[in-house]
Amino acid sequence: MRSPMLFEIRVALETALFAAVQPSFSAGDVIIIQPGEELKPDLDKIQVIHSVNPGEVQDGELGGRQGVCPRVGVYVVTLSCPNDTDRLSQAWKLSSVIESKFYRADLPVTDADCSVMCDEPYTTNVGETDDKRLALSVSIPWWVWAGGYEGE
């Protein structure tokens, strides 16, 4: 088993997110905002804004490049919606769908014998944002095995 690269971790997390929100996307209720993407989203829709936050690599079992240890991080999905009770209700339902999709899930890394392991997601009610929208933030703690580079 090899350690997944950061880009591979991002792809595994995004793939699971896109699968979770696909029904809402197909219904025209949400728009997915890709990190770094410049666009003028439809402000009547729920905006799905997401970012991968890699954390520190913990101490390894062995020293040097062959040491294997966990690397922890958090995937943050923000659901920004108009200040409207119907859209806010949809956002709450969508946050539950996202939590369920990631709950203790092992997400495969494409073309590799490794995965991104998710812990227990939780939702925070952010409340009203500066642009007068409402926001919910779903935090998804994740970890991967890091290291083990000796002999690759």
In order of their start, the domains of the chain are: 6-59+66-146 (3.30.2000.10)
Q: pLDDT value at position 79?
A: 97
Q: pLDDT value at position 43?
A: 85
pTM: 0.89
What does the mean pLDDT of the chain come to? 89
Which residue stretches of the chain have pLDDT < 70?
1-2, 59-67, 148-152
Q: pLDDT value at position 134?
A: 96
Report phi then psi at 99, rounded to 5.
Answer: -55, -45
The token duo for 41 is: 């989203």
